[in-house]
A and B are shown apart, each in its own frame.
Chain A
């Protein structure tokens, strides 16, 4: 039932590819001469390389997994999320809203902005919250990557948990070695290679989903299957049985604020040659941000169609005890419909994508720890090059250890995208408010920024929403899911952060001296 077309030949392809990419990462290390080279690639990335890296970072195996999970459970309706991303990045790229100013300030990390605009305390607070949210956010990445490999290679099954955990451990070790050795130059170069391989791999997967009529796939079959199974809710994202309006608005807020101040993506705005390149990167990267979620969503839609027409898989994926199995459907589908050899190439490309996302994320959060937490706490404006690289590397390893523990012990939720949106809001709701408010409102003060950032911490409560919903139903016999859920809760918290920011700024304005210093910056 879980066998795939993955053979020894595919393993050879995967190993050769991974070893080759690893060696390349080490080779480019010889071009790294100082901390700026290590952390922001010497700010020497041209437009095409920036676009490739920008898309390569976002186009991780994790993205493919969470988008396919929602495609599998919600159908075509999920395509609204990539559509929002497409429109938001087109807007940012054409207007240069916020991102142009960030690049012109020549920052190394985003929290640096908060020191230049507000105070050192704001920088440290932002750094701490960014790392907390970011590390929680990527907490499920390794497990999802391991789930993909397990099921695409035919190791899947009802007792595959140990295999998934072992592969999780191996993947984390691999990515740690790679990130610690290379830094941002390796990230830029391997992101480029990942971009090339993955663009071909995504196209390949899509081709089989649209043309494999023997397995009841193809556009017409997918549409008919979903229409029969879920009716209009499979296509209309605001349908009450689909995501609904609150979720729709929530996604606009998240995608917009993440584009501006979610470190792994926004760091790309800091590494370009100039602000014009930053704008072009966002503008031309927009199709990539659509495709990175839309293609796997179509894979998920195809996986549902496949399972629907294969009775032996019906119970496992669609039966009463199917909860938690959505993540396994897409890798199993690819393993079943893509021929040997091509499957190896695809898995190698996706594994490389896994590393590409991890190195960017690890480096982003680790540089915030070294530059925005350790340096200010040591009372120095700037760490030496050696200190900077050392602290970043130590932080990378510590985050890796956390990922290992969290990845193995935490159960995958039904929608990983919702989990990631909630954890992202811990940072985004406060910091995006302070960042945009600081840029476009002269009276914004340090106190307002700090209050907004602390307010964002309330979003952690979003992780317990399902438990509270269950408890309420048991205790009072009524469901509160409609009005009390992750999106409504975190949107409310976002509103609270804005109010706190305005109130703090009006009640405790910055002193005249502080204001003059900021103006000088």
Chain B
């Protein structure tokens, strides 16, 4: 019974750390991810224009 209680406490701590760190990650990744999407589109279009430029 003592061992089971120790495991219960262990999982409680692990879940708190895991869910807490994920919540922080979500708050950071959502705005920065949106910025990266726009940058990706710009990069892909710029690369394509660069490739299609006529050679001198």
Are A and B bound to each other?
yes
State the CA gap A52–B37 with chains docked (Å). 11
A44: contacting residue among B8, B18, B29, B44, CB under 8 A = B44
Give, as a whole number of angstroms, the nearest-CB distance from A81 to chain B.
12
State the CA gap A266–B8 with chains docked (Å). 34
Which residues B10-56 have CB closer than 8 A to chain A?
A: 11-12, 14-15, 18-19, 21-23, 25-26, 28-30, 32-37, 39-41, 43-45, 47-48, 51
Smallest Cβ-Cβ distance to A32: which chain B residue = B44
The reply on A430 being an interface residue by CB < 8 A is: no
Q: Does B18 lie within 8 Å of A287, measured CB to CB?
A: yes
Query: Which of the candidate stretches A106-114, A139-147, A290-298, A316-324 sits at the interface with the other chain?
Result: A290-298
Q: A79-B14, A192-B33 are in contact. Are A185 and B44 (CB under 8 A)?
A: yes
Query: Which of the candidate stretches A34-42, A118-126, A393-401, A502-510 sits at the interface with the other chain?
Result: A34-42
Q: Which of A44, A227, A288 has the most CB of B within 10 A?
A: A44
Q: Does A185 lie within 8 Å of B40, measured CB to CB?
A: yes
B18: contacting residue among A42, A188, A235, A291, CB under 8 A = A291
Q: Does A51 lie within 8 Å of B18, measured CB to CB?
A: no
Q: Does A82 lie within 8 Å of B40, measured CB to CB?
A: no
Chain B residues with Cβ below 8 Å from A86 are: 18
Chain B residues with Cβ below 8 Å from A137 are: none
Chain A residues with Cβ below 8 Å from B51 are: 33-34
Chain A residues with Cβ below 8 Å from B14 are: 79, 83
Q: Does B47 lie within 8 Å of A33, measured CB to CB?
A: yes
Give, as a whole number of angstroms, the nearest-CB distance from B51 to chain A.
8
Q: Does B15 lie within 8 Å of A49, measured CB to CB?
A: no
Interface string of A14-51 (1 = CB under 8 A from B): 00000000000000100111100100011011111111
**Size of the chain B interface, CB-CB below 8 angstroms:** 33
Q: Does B34 lie within 8 Å of A192, measured CB to CB?
A: yes
Smallest Cβ-Cβ distance to A290: which chain B residue = B18
The reply on A232 being an interface residue by CB < 8 A is: yes
Q: Does A45 lie within 8 Å of B40, measured CB to CB?
A: yes
B22: contacting residue among A79, A83, A236, A291, CB under 8 A = A291
**Size of the chain A interface, CB-CB below 8 angstroms:** 47
Give, as a whole number of angstroms, the nearest-CB distance from A473 to chain B.
31
State the CA gap A83–B18 with chains docked (Å). 9
Q: Does B3 lie within 8 Å of A48, measured CB to CB?
A: no
Chain A residues with Cβ below 8 Å from B35 are: 46, 48
A236: contacting residue among B7, B19, B21, B34, CB under 8 A = B7
The reply on A170 being an interface residue by CB < 8 A is: no
Chain B residues with Cβ below 8 Å from A196 are: 30, 33
Q: A195-B33, A223-B8, A236-B3 are in contact. Are A284 and B40 (CB under 8 A)?
A: no
Give, as a whole number of angstroms, the nearest-CB distance from A405 to chain B.
36
Give, as a whole number of angstroms, the nearest-CB distance from B24 to chain A.
8
B45: contacting residue among A31, A76, A195, A295, CB under 8 A = A31
Q: Does B36 lie within 8 Å of A287, measured CB to CB?
A: no
Chain A residues with Cβ below 8 Å from B23 are: 203
Q: Does A42 lie within 8 Å of B40, measured CB to CB?
A: yes
Chain B residues with Cβ below 8 Å from A252 are: none
State the CA gap A284–B27 with chains docked (Å). 13
The reply on A157 being an interface residue by CB < 8 A is: no
Q: Does B4 lie within 8 Å of A287, measured CB to CB?
A: no
Q: Does A232 lie within 8 Å of B25, measured CB to CB?
A: no
The reply on A244 being an interface residue by CB < 8 A is: no
A76: contacting residue among B8, B26, B28, B40, CB under 8 A = B8
Q: List 30 A-B contacts (CB under 8 A).
A: A31-B44, A32-B44, A33-B47, A33-B51, A34-B48, A41-B40, A42-B44, A44-B39, A45-B36, A46-B39, A51-B29, A79-B14, A185-B44, A188-B37, A192-B37, A195-B33, A199-B30, A227-B4, A227-B8, A232-B3, A235-B8, A236-B3, A236-B7, A284-B29, A287-B21, A287-B25, A290-B18, A291-B19, A291-B22, A294-B15
Task: List 11 extra interface pairs beyond A50-B36, A223-B8, A284-B25, CB under 8 A.
Answer: A33-B48, A37-B47, A42-B47, A49-B37, A51-B33, A185-B44, A188-B40, A284-B29, A287-B21, A288-B25, A291-B18
The chain B residues found within 8 Å of chain A, CB to CB, are 3-4, 7-8, 11-12, 14-15, 18-19, 21-23, 25-26, 28-30, 32-37, 39-41, 43-45, 47-48, 51
The 5 A-B residue pairs with the shortest CB-CB distance in the complex, in nearest-first order? A48-B32, A49-B36, A235-B7, A46-B36, A33-B48
